[in-house]
Amino acid sequence: MFTAMMKIRRAEERLMEIFATGVIPGFIHVGIGQEAVAVGVCSALRKDDCIANTHRGHGQAIAKGIDLKGFMAEIYGKRNGVCKGRSGSMHIADKASGILGSNGIVGGGIPLAMGNAFASHYVNDGRVTVCFFGDGASNEGTFHESLNLASLWNLPIIFCCENNEWAQFTPIEKYIKIGNISNRAAAYGMPGISVDGDDVLAVHDAAKRAVTRARKGKGPTLIECKTHRWFGHFAGDKQKYRPPEEIETVRKYDPILRFQTRLVEGNILGQRDIDEIEQRIRREIDEAVTFAEESPSPGPDELFDDVSREEK
Amino acid sequence: MGEVRYIRAITEALREEMSRDERVFVIGEDVGLSGGAFSATRGLLEEFGERRVRDTPISESAIVGLAAGAAAAGLRPVVEIMFMDFMTLCMDQVVNQMAKMRYMFGGQSKVPMVIRTPCGAGLNAGPQHSQCLEALFAHIPGLKVVMPSTPYDVKGLLKSSIRDDNPVIFVENKALHAISGEVPEGEYTIPLGKGEIKRKGKDVTVVATSRMVHQSLVAAERLEEEGIHIEVIDPRTINPLDRGIILTSVEKTSRLVIAHEAVKAFGIGAEISAMVCEEAIDSLDGPIIRVGAPFTPIPFSLESTYLPGVHDIIDAVHRVMEYSWG
């Protein structure tokens, strides 16, 4: 879990650096500070389980085990990206690692994730689906429609709300009146729980219980993970809308440092182990970046590929 | 089977495809217990059970999104959206998700699903239960749009749509649900993207869709008495459009009228007209005339004034026939 969190942190830091040089097209949304949510949840899943991630979904994809080279090449818009360069950062999907797709539409992925869970239910394959979304998305109609339907049909899905207290540029007190988003679960007849989303073990425990419940056919759970977004909505966002003292102090919640302290104090991890992990991750990221840089861009003749599927 | 009603041809297509393929299931508001608001799914719950015939809450986005997610996972959902007007409730799922998933994910998943939805005025259902919105969907890459006019076509096209590996918007017309027509015994399908000449003629090509096919056939009888022979073409699929059948006919007749029930402005008539101008302007002996509804919401009490019909087609044909260049 520690390695996975570290890998996400370092990969996103690298992405921010590269993005600042203008090499990466479009825009990217990083989730630095929110690593414990992705890792805590995905570590409770089987390889063949699925997740739907959000526009801030790099961490979720890495935690679910996406190939880092294909991931990086996709963000570069290259042909060897997991989606042939058509998705970029915001719409990454990878069937091989059970990633249904991140979504550029806030709340847009919630019904789709439910559909994947429905398919598991229909063919009885024992898989569960986790649907990640943010606090902002919990005000979309799709959230309410999907929680109701998934609960009604006992679908094997976990609704995981990453509450980082900011919906793009607006603070949470301006868009949600209740203190815990998990309270909304009661309206749909499913369990709801709020956990410290910067505590990877707390997230993991909650996810594990929800996964067990879903796999037994007992239906969905809403887990709210209260976490913190260190940076702006998009890479390069100057956050003029955010109190400067909050920007300065938000790093005190660092989920990685917290977990690391715990591991070190418990004598589970030493400084040498940490250095080794850092080195291994750096190598892996270096390789992925090189792969992305060297990958060819898609050619104009590929424009019409995959618009629709025609019988051969 | 002999004469079959349009609505029963739909039921028959659903039953056959559900029997043929375990992955096919029906989902929507009132499709199970009640057999559907227009009875299209009557008897399916009894035959296939609750697992495959799913009554849902009134939650169009969740229904369509669930279907798209299930389709990407390997199932073949057939959604019913009770009135085409209600399609606006699930536009994100249709336009941004279902239509684009295959493309933006680099072809990793196909999305084989059908949304059946009845359009059309004539039942005094008012402005929010009567619209023909096919142009909205034909404008979106990644979607197929089918609009059958006869019981024979609706059955064959629905079966093909269910077997197609792409999302299909399958537009029925409420006014056609009650009509009867010949439907043969046994298995047949009609390929998407293939139009049909519903009546041969040499003087004017009339491209008509859905209910307007029938209006055009009545107009053809009356025009025949005046010695004008119109060729009625039903594209059957709006997208992909059978351009070939339209161009071949226009090259023969040199005159074109396009008739649809949707509002004329910015409709598929404009697309067909532009396509013919781009591809075959030298064949034309006159302007292309479109017949469609006026640019107003559909009125409750003035529906017969509003709806385009036989007279409008006859007038349009006269106008193209009377036209002479400069």
- Interface check for B180 against chain A (CB to CB < 8 A): the answer is no
Q: What value does the mean pLDDT take over residues A69-83?
A: 94
Q: How many residues does chain B have?
A: 326
Q: What is the mean pLDDT of chain B?
A: 96
Residue in chain B lying closest to A88 (CA): B104
Global pTM reads 0.95
CATH 3.40.50.970 fits B2-183, yes or no: yes
How distant is the alpha carbon of residue B169 from its chain centre? 8
Question: Residue A303 corresponds to which tokens in the numbers above?
Answer: 């424009």
Tell me which residue in A83, A119, A142 faces B105 most closely, judged by beta carbons: A83
The pLDDT tens digits for B65-121 are: 999 999 999 999 999 999 999 999 999 999 999 999 999 999 999 999 999 999 999
Which of these, A98, A131, A128, lies nearest to A212 by C-alpha position? A128
**3-class DSSP assignment, residue A83:** coil
Question: Do A87 and B57 make contact, defined as CB atoms within 8 angstroms?
Answer: no
Interface residue of A76, A95, A116, A123 to substitute, partner B, most B CBs within 10 Å = A116
Q: What is the mean pLDDT of chain A?
A: 94
Find the radius of gyration of the CA atoms of chain A.
19
Tell me which residue in A95, A115, A306 faces B66 most closely, judged by beta carbons: A115
Residue A79: pLDDT over 60: yes
Q: What value does the mean pLDDT take over residues B184-195?
A: 96
Q: What is the pLDDT of residue A196?
A: 98
> What confidence category does residue A306 fall into, taking pLDDT thresholds of 50, 70 and 90?
confident
- Interface check for B39 against chain A (CB to CB < 8 A): the answer is no
Tell me if B2-183 shares its fold with B196-321. Answer: yes
Tell me which residue in A81, A93, A114 faces B65 most closely, judged by beta carbons: A114
Q: What value does the mean pLDDT take over residues A55-69?
A: 95
Q: What value does the mean pLDDT take over residues B204-221?
A: 98
How distant is the alpha carbon of residue A174 from its chain centre? 24
- Interface check for B105 against chain A (CB to CB < 8 A): the answer is yes
Q: What is the pLDDT of residue B59?
A: 97
Residue B325: pLDDT over 90: no
In A127-268, which residue ranges form alpha helices assigned H by DSSP? Answer: 141-152, 200-215, 244-249, 255-265
Q: How many angstroms separate the CA atoms of B249 and A40, rounded?
A: 64
Residue A59: pLDDT over 60: yes
Question: Do B107 and A306 make contact, defined as CB atoms within 8 angstroms?
Answer: yes
Top-tier CATH class for B196-321: alpha beta
Q: What is the pLDDT of residue A308?
A: 81
Residue A149: pLDDT over 80: yes
Provide the shortest C-alpha distance from residue B261 to chain A (in Å). Answer: 28
Q: What percentage of chain B has pLDDT greater than the value 90?
A: 97
Provide the shortest C-alpha distance from residue A151 to chain B (in Å). Answer: 12
Question: Do B106 and A309 make contact, defined as CB atoms within 8 angstroms?
Answer: no
Tell me which chain B residues have a C-beta less than 8 angstroms from the C-beta of A157. none
Domains of chain A: 2-297 (3.40.50.970)
- Interface check for A122 against chain B (CB to CB < 8 A): the answer is yes
- The CA distances from residue B200 to B193, B204, B320, in Å, are 20, 10, 18
Q: Which residue has the higher pLDDT, A310 or A178?
A: A178
Residue B171: pLDDT over 90: yes
Tell me which residue in A81, A105, A309 faces B92 most closely, judged by beta carbons: A105
Tell me which residue in B66, B108, B166 faces A111 most closely, judged by beta carbons: B66
- Interface check for A194 against chain B (CB to CB < 8 A): the answer is no
Q: How many angstroms separate the CA atoms of B270 and B199, rounded?
A: 23
Q: What percentage of chain A has pLDDT greater than the value 90?
A: 90
Question: Do B105 and A91 make contact, defined as CB atoms within 8 angstroms?
Answer: yes
Q: What is the pLDDT of residue B326?
A: 56
Tell me which residue in A95, A114, A308 faces B108 most closely, judged by beta carbons: A95
Residue in chain A lying closest to B22 (CA): A123
Residue B324: pLDDT over 80: no
> What confidence category does residue B257 fall into, taking pLDDT thresholds of 50, 70 and 90?
very high
Q: What value does the mean pLDDT take over residues A14-34?
A: 92
Would you tell me which residues 128-157 of chain A have a C-beta closer than 8 angstroms to some C-beta of chain B? Answer: 141-142, 145-146, 148-149, 152
> What confidence category does residue A21 fall into, taking pLDDT thresholds of 50, 70 and 90?
very high
Q: What is the pLDDT of residue B44?
A: 98
Question: Do A86 and B64 make contact, defined as CB atoms within 8 angstroms?
Answer: no
Q: What is the pLDDT of residue A312?
A: 40
Which of these, B243, B242, B241, B216, lies nearest to B231 by C-alpha position? B216
- Interface check for B62 against chain A (CB to CB < 8 A): the answer is yes
Structure ipTM: 0.94
- Interface check for A110 against chain B (CB to CB < 8 A): the answer is yes
- Interface check for A307 against chain B (CB to CB < 8 A): the answer is yes
Q: What is the pLDDT of residue A307?
A: 87
Interface residue of B26, B50, B108 to substitute, partner A, most A CBs within 10 Å = B108
Q: What value does the mean pLDDT take over residues A42-55?
A: 97
Q: Which residues pair with B57 in a beta bridge?
A: none
Q: How many angstroms separate the CA atoms of A60 and A132, rounded?
A: 8
Q: What is the pLDDT of residue B1?
A: 62
Question: Residue B48 corresponds to which tokens in the numbers above?
Answer: 């296939």
Residue B308: pLDDT over 80: yes
Q: What is the pLDDT of residue B2?
A: 84
Q: Which residue numbers of B are catalytic? A: 129
Q: Which residue has the higher pLDDT, A236 or A111?
A: A111
Q: What is the pLDDT of residue B202?
A: 97
Query: Domain extents for chain B?
Result: 2-183, 196-321
Q: How many angstroms separate the CA atoms of B147 and B174, rounded?
A: 12
Which of these, B252, B207, B202, B254, lies nearest to B230 by C-alpha position? B202
Of A82-86, A220-224, B179-183, B189-193, which range is least confident? A82-86
Cβ contacts below 8 Å, chain A against chain B, sum to 143
